Amino acid sequence: RLIRHPVSGQRGIPVSLSTIATWQKIDSHSPHPQFSLLSQGGGKMAVAYVEHPFHHLYHPPFRLGISSLTTATFVTLSRQRLSRKDGAFHLSNVVSACGSPSVPILDDSANAIPAAEVRHLHAEAGGSGARQNFGQRLQDFLRQEPNEESVLDFYREAKKDPNFFLDFLSTNFLISFLTKSEQWRNISEIAPDIGICLAFPGSSTGSKAVRLCISSRKFRVADALLDSLAKNRRTAAREFASAMKGYNELHMYGSTVSLYDRMVSFGIEPDFLCYRLVLEALEKSDETDKAARVFEEIRSRGLGSSSEAKSIYLAFCRTLVQSGRATQGVELVREMESSGVEPDHRFYACLIPSLVAEGRPKEAEALLSESLAKRHPPKDQTVFLRLVSLRVDSDSPEKAMEIVAAAKNSGVMLTDCVLSVVVGGHARRRGPRAALEAFDQLTSLGLRPGQVTYSMAVGACARLGLTARAESLLVEMQASGYGRCVFAYAIVIRLYGREGRSGDALRMLGVMKAKGCRPNVWVYNALLDVYGRDGNVRQAERLWNEMRARKVRPDRASYTSLIGAYARVKDYEACVRVYSEFKGSGGRLDRTLAAVMVGVLSKSTRVDQLIRFLGDVKDHGVGLDARLYRSTLYALKDAGLQAQLKRFLQSFGTKAKLGDA
C-alpha cells in the first residue's frame, strides 16, 4: 500500500534498509529510476517515495505496518543514486510532510515504526520543510502569470536560501511555464541548476522545451538545457532526438550531426529515432562515408524487423542514392529482405529513378515489375514518367506503352503527364497516325486522358486532316471538364480555315467565349489565316481591332496573315503600312513574311522600297528561295536598274541561280 503525500499528492511506501540495499544493487545495473534513502543512525526502517508508474517494480517482497504515524518522511526516487560514504548512507533530495492517517496503513503492527523514531527522522531531514515551501510558493507565484523579470527575481531570491534545492515537481512546473510563456532567458538561468540538483523534468516536458527552443531559434538556450538533461541517461536520448528533429525541420543538418557527436561524447546511447534523424541529416549534407559508419554501428547493435529498422534502412538507402550508388542501394534492399523486413513503395520510388539516371533501364524496369507484383507500386508519378520518357527517347515508344499497361493492370492510375509523354513520343517517333492509335489504346485501358493528351490527339487529327474526329475529341474534352483549352480550339479553327469553313471558325470563337475561355494570339492567328485565305479583309480588320481591344499582342504570324489578306485584294498600300508597323515594333523577318513582302513590292513596282527591303532581309539573315529570287530579279530587270541588279547578284545570287533565272 502507498502513503499519499498530503501536499503533492504523490505516494510513498515503507521499506527496510536491507530491501533498500538490494534495490541499490539492482538499480546500478538497470535502466530503471534511481532512488535515495533517508535513515537515522542504526535505524531499521525508512519511508521511500516511489514514482507511480514504477511502484510495481520496487514493491517490497514483504508487508510492513505503521500504526501510529504522525510524521511521514518521503525520500524521492529517480533523482539521485543511493550512495554510501564513511560506512553510513547519506541523504539526498528529501521532501517531508506532516500528516495523520485516519486508519492504520498496514495491518502488521509488530514491525511498525515508533512515532518517536519517525519524529527523529523528520528532525534529521533538516530543511526539507523549506524545500516544500519553495515548491508551493513557486506554484502559487507562477499561477499569477508573472513577466520574465519577476520570475527571474523570484528565482534568484529563492536561491539565496541555504536550504534551497530543486526537486522534480518544481522543475517540471517551472520549465512548462517558461516554455509556454517563451521566457528563454529564465530557462538559461535555470538550466545549470537542473543538472546540479539532478532535478530533471519529465521526458515529455524536456523534449517539448528543447524543441520549442530550436523552433524559436534559441539555439544557445537549447544547448544549455541539453547539457543538463544529458545527465539523466534514462530520458536523454529522447530529448536529444527531439532537438535533432527540430534542426532537421529547419534544414540545419550540420547542427544535427554535431548534436549526434555531442550525444556520443556524453556517453548517451542513441535510440533508433536518433539514428534515423542523423542519417537523414547526413543524406542532405552529402556525407556518405560518415553515414556508412553510423549504419555499421546500428547494424552491430542489431536492427531486427521492426518499423524503426525499416526507417533506418530507408534513410541509408536514400543516402546511397544521393551519392550515385543506386546499385549498392539495391543490395541493401536485398539484405533487408533477408533479415525479414519487406520493402515498401518508398524504396522503389527512391531506387528506380536513380537507376534510370545511371543508365540502367533494364534493372529499373525489373524493380518496377517487382514492386507491381508485390502490390507496392511507387506512389510518385515521376518514377513512371522517367521510365516512359527513357523508352520514348530510346526510340521504343511501344515499350513505354507496355509500362503504362502493366501499371494499369496493377491498379495504378497514371496522371495525364505520363500519358501525354506516351502520345507525344509516338507522334515524334512514329508519326501522327501512331499517336492517334496510342491515344485510342490508352482510353481502351480505362485511363482518363487530360487536357494535354487530348490536345495532342486533336493535333494529330489536324495533321491527318481528320476534321470530324478532331471535332468529336473536342466534344469529349468539353464533357470531361477541359472545355477551356485554347490550343485545341485554335487547331480546330485552323482546320476549318483549310476547308474554307470561315462560318464554322467564327462559330467556334463564340463557343470559346461562351465557355469563359479567353482567346489568345494563337486563336486570332488561326482566324486571320482563315479570312486571309478567303480575302475577307473586312472581317480580318474586325479581328485585328478586337485583338487590340482585348490587349492581345500580335506576333509575326498575325502580321503575316493580315498582310497576306491585303495582298489578295491588291491593297498594296495597306500591306506596306502594316509592314512598317511590324518593323517599328521590333519584329524580325522570317522566310514566309519575306516572300509575301517581295511579292507585294514587285507587283506594285516599288523598286526603291524593294531594295531597302532586301537590305532588311540581309540584316535579318533570311535566305531567299528560288521563287523569291526570280521574282526580285525580274522586278529589277524590268525597272532597268542595272547597278542595283549587280549589287543584288553579288549579295544573294550565284551562277547557278542566275542560270536558272
Task: Give the pLDDT confidence score for residue 443 in this predicted structure.
Answer: 92
What digits encode the pLDDT tens for the residues 206-245?
999 999 999 999 999 999 999 999 988 888 999 999 999 9
Q: Side-chain half-sphere of 398: how many Cα atoms within 13 Å?
A: 1
Task: Give the pLDDT confidence score for residue 635 in this predicted structure.
Answer: 64
**What mean pLDDT do residues 101-119 have?**
35
Using an 8 Å Cβ cutoff, are 121 and 46 in contact?
yes
pLDDT band at 435 (very low <50, low <70, confident <90, very high): very high
* Most confident of the following: 17-26, 331-340, 646-655: 331-340
**What mean pLDDT do residues 48-69 have?**
34
Whether 249 shows a pLDDT value over 80: the answer reads yes
pLDDT band at 412 (very low <50, low <70, confident <90, very high): confident
Task: Give the pLDDT confidence score for residue 50 in this predicted structure.
Answer: 38
Determine the Cα–Cα distance for residues 344 and 371; give it in Å rounded to an integer: 8
Scanning the structure block, which residue is given the C-alpha cell 479553327?
Answer: 493
What digits encode the pLDDT tens for the residues 279-300?
999 988 888 889 999 998 888 8
Task: Give the pLDDT confidence score for residue 629 in this predicted structure.
Answer: 67
pLDDT band at 309 (very low <50, low <70, confident <90, very high): confident
User: Nearest 5°: phi and psi at 76?
Assistant: -75, 140
Task: Give the pLDDT confidence score for residue 196 in this predicted structure.
Answer: 83
**What mean pLDDT do residues 329-342 have?**
86
Task: Give the pLDDT confidence score for residue 246 in this predicted structure.
Answer: 94
Determine the Cα–Cα distance for residues 407 and 397; give it in Å rounded to an integer: 16
Q: Say what percent of the chain tops pLDDT 90.
A: 23
Task: Give the pLDDT confidence score for residue 605 in this predicted structure.
Answer: 73
Say which range, 125-129, 169-173, 405-409, 634-638, has the weakest mean pLDDT. 125-129
Higher pLDDT, 11 or 350: 350
Task: Give the pLDDT confidence score for residue 120 in this predicted structure.
Answer: 35
Using an 8 Å Cβ cutoff, are 411 and 446 in contact?
no
* Most confident of the following: 81-95, 146-160, 397-411, 456-470: 456-470
**What mean pLDDT do residues 429-444 have?**
92
Q: What is the DSSP string of 251-265?
A: T-HHHHHHHHHHHHH
What digits encode the pLDDT tens for the residues 535-549?
889 999 999 999 999
Is 47 strand, coil or helix?
Answer: strand
Q: Mean of the per-residue pLDDT values for the chain?
A: 75
For CA atoms 402, 407, 411, 415, the dihedral sign is: negative
Q: Say what percent of the chain tops pLDDT 70.
A: 73
* Cα 446–Cα 451–Cα 455 angle in degrees, nearest 5: 100
Task: Give the pLDDT confidence score for residue 88 in this predicted structure.
Answer: 30
Using an 8 Å Cβ cutoff, are 564 and 530 in contact?
no
Task: Give the pLDDT confidence score for residue 123 in this predicted structure.
Answer: 34
Task: Give the pLDDT confidence score for residue 646 in this predicted structure.
Answer: 55
Task: Give the pLDDT confidence score for residue 503 in this predicted structure.
Answer: 87
Determine the Cα–Cα distance for residues 219 and 36; give it in Å rounded to an integer: 34
Q: Tell me the pTM.
A: 0.60
**What mean pLDDT do residues 424-444 have?**
92
**What mean pLDDT do residues 378-398 have?**
84
CATH fit for domain 485-587, picks 3.30.70.260, 1.10.468.10, 3.90.1150.10, 1.25.40.10: 1.25.40.10
Determine the Cα–Cα distance for residues 257 and 243; give it in Å rounded to an integer: 11
What digits encode the pLDDT tens for the residues 437-479?
999 999 998 899 999 999 999 999 999 999 999 999 999 999 9
Query: Domain segments of the chain: what residues?
Result: 3-126, 381-483, 485-587, 605-661
What digits encode the pLDDT tens for the residues 190-203?
888 888 878 888 88
Using an 8 Å Cβ cutoff, are 473 and 457 in contact?
yes
Task: Give the pLDDT confidence score for residue 225 in this predicted structure.
Answer: 92
Give which of 442, 452, 458 is closest to 400, Cα–Cα. Answer: 442
Determine how β-strand 94-98 pairs with β-strand 88-89.
unpaired
Query: Please, what is the end-to-end C-alpha distance for the chain in angstroms?
Result: 120
**What mean pLDDT do residues 423-433 have?**
91
Task: Give the pLDDT confidence score for residue 421 in this predicted structure.
Answer: 92
**What mean pLDDT do residues 104-115 have?**
36
Whether 247 shows a pLDDT value over 50: the answer reads yes
